[in-house]
Amino acid sequence: MVQLTIISAGQGLTVQDLGRPGWKAQGLSTGGAADPLALLEAAALLGTSPAQAVIEMMGFGGRFKADEGTRFALTGATMDADVDGVRVLPNSTSFLPAGATLTVGAAKAGVYGYLAFAGGITTPLIMDSRAAHLTAGIGKRLQAGDTLPLGLDPDRMRAPRKLRVEDRFSGGTVRIMPGPQTDFFDQQALDAFTKTTFHRSPRGNRQGIRLEHSGAEFGTKDGLNHVSDLIVPGDIQVTGAGVPYVLLAECQTIGGYPRIGSVIPADLPKIAQATPGTTLQFRFLTLEEADATAQTQAAKLRQLAQMCQPMVRDPHDIADLLRYQLISGATSGDDLERP
């Protein structure tokens, strides 16, 4: 077993994986990574299982050290990183030698960055998952001084790879689908909603984010007098004041506010990764169009794995070029002649 030490940590570090599906009936939402696509990207790069647990870093990273060398990848929000001062590129595999310090800084684009190690984090499973679900009392925020067990890197010598990722860090148009309460809103309200430009409010967390706007109101025909009903991540709740909240991985399972529609899973990372102030607009898909976007995580992972490319580094970009053993196998030229 490898031990990872967290030397310092930002405020929003937790262990995450793809969460705990299947407990909705018991009131426990799936939870897991706020941007699950980043976990699939990391798995594609490292050639590992997407079920492995990673460190999710909201807004800011930390400093880390492992007692055995291991490959790792940084995906999701773009965060500056280095290993003992040598820059590490995002969305590619890198090597953290035993005892070296990996420093991950503030997010420059996006909200949630992910640090995945090739052996995965191997904390005990709780209900088949290692994901912290803080509102459900599972797991905790990581702090300086904490240690985490990692699995051994199964393939330390695997050639480094890189991946060009989908830009989901700059807002834009988000596709939504109709839900069970869309027809609680009249056409005028639906039109007002899709014509409005929203800004991601500073208020938001893994449960959901609030959207602000200065456009027309779009309440339901009969106000807030609705019976509470089941929720899925992506649902857009509209509260009394016409303020929409988009629900994320760690949302509650039942809610009473009417929901105008639901962000399709393929576009939900755009919501999770929108920094405060980012502009967002919504466009309704028909049910058929929305269903056609459904993709299993396994299928997405296969697609990403095919997109990974070998990493060829330009020697000009290698700051520590002289640290590398550039020539090996040189001889004095008379080896074969010697006895």
Partner 1 sequence: MNTSLPEPELRPLGVDGILVRFARTLTEAANARALAFCEQAKNASIAGVTEVASSLVSVRVGFDPHVTNRNSVTQAVTKLLASEQATQNSPKRLWRIPVAFGPTYAPQLGEVAALAGLTPEQAVAEVEATTVRVIAIGFAPGQPYLGMLPSNWNVPRQSNLTDSLPRGALICAVRQLIIWAAEAPTGWRHIGQTAFRVYLPEATDPFALEPGDAVQFSAVSDSDFRDIEANTDTNGGATCEVLR
Give the residues lining the site for partner 1 (CB under 8 A).
21-28, 126-127, 135-138, 177-180, 226-230, 232, 234, 252-255, 262, 264-265, 287, 290-291, 293-294, 296, 299
Query: Please, what is the minimum distance in Å from the beta carbon of residue 263 to partner 1?
Result: 10
Pairing of strands 279-284, 172-177: parallel
Signed CA dihedral, 299, 44, 103, 315: sign only: negative
297 vs 43: CA distance, rounded Å? 11
Query: Please, what is the minimum distance in Å from the beta carbon of residue 32 to partner 1?
Result: 15
Nearer to partner 1, 294 or 319 (CB): 294
* 130-158 b/e (C-beta count within 10 Å ≥ 16 → b): bbbbeebebbeebeeebebebbebeeeee
Query: Please, what is the minimum distance in Å from the beta carbon of residue 27 to partner 1?
Result: 4
Nearer to partner 1, 199 or 226 (CB): 226
Query: Please, what is the minimum distance in Å from the beta carbon of residue 182 to partner 1?
Result: 8
Element (H, E) at 106: strand 101-117
190 vs 172: CA distance, rounded Å? 19
Query: Please, what is the minimum distance in Å from the beta carbon of residue 33 to partner 1?
Result: 18
DSSP state of 251: -
Nearer to partner 1, 77 or 271 (CB): 271
Pairing of strands 2-9, 147-150: antiparallel
Nearer to partner 1, 287 or 321 (CB): 287
Nearer to partner 1, 126 or 305 (CB): 126
Nearer to partner 1, 227 or 326 (CB): 227
182 in helix, strand or coil? helix
Q: How far is CA 100 from CA 10, 74, 83, 119, in A?
A: 19, 16, 7, 17
Q: For the purposes of burial, counting CB atoms within 10 Å of the CB of 244, is it exposed (0-12), middle (13-18) or buried (19 or more)?
A: buried
Query: Please, what is the minimum distance in Å from the beta carbon of residue 304 to partner 1?
Result: 17
| 245 and 154 Cβ atoms separated by less than 8 Å | no
Nearer to partner 1, 156 or 221 (CB): 221
**Residues constituting the chain:** 339
Query: Please, what is the minimum distance in Å from the beta carbon of residue 179 to partner 1?
Result: 6
Nearer to partner 1, 108 or 283 (CB): 283
14 vs 185: CA distance, rounded Å? 38
Query: Please, what is the minimum distance in Å from the beta carbon of residue 98 to partner 1?
Result: 33
